Structure 1
């Protein structure tokens, strides 16, 4: 686990750490209390990844193309 708060992680950072957490849990070589902590961290990381993907989808949805396929009418997505 890194010391970086989940709320400050990029999608890629959160996904990489989530993969490490899942790997540790799947191996089953972690004590019960540590497993609970890992599971909670994994849930936070999963939520962060979902939130970052939603932000990206909203940004893409805000892009409009003209007849030639060029971006036009870019509208900032509120809160991003």
Structure 2
């Protein structure tokens, strides 16, 4: 097995550190204790950190592979993960609610109340 490559050290913080800094900035902005100039600087830093987090997540998503099976020698067979198909499916079903209908709903509606009358 080949040794894992260590990521190159950069000046930019990692995902966890960026997220922690972003949470601190959000808390400071929500508290309202900063002056206008400082709040604007923190907001700009926060948007930069947010972009960084999205970039890190996108890079990680591109590295994900699906295990599709095993070859004759027992080695894993993989294919790249296509996250766009999942996103499209999620967008299509977003906002849909399960609606009850039919006999069960009608029976529940006509069910007598504690006082012997049907609820309207």
Give the alignment's TM-score, normalised by structure 2: 0.49
Gaps of 5+ in 1: 1-6, 76-80
The structure where helix makes up a greater share of residues is: 1
Structure (1/2) with the larger strand percentage: 2
Structure 2 residue runs without a partner (length 5+):
1-10, 81-120
Change (3 A) 1:42 1:65: same
Max Rg structure? 2
What is the 5 A alignment of 1:1-80?
Answer: 8-60=12-64, 63-68=65-70, 71-73=76-78
Q: Describe the shift of the 1:26–1:56 C-alpha distance in structure 2 as closer, same or farther (beyond 3 A).
A: same
Residue-pair matches, total: 66
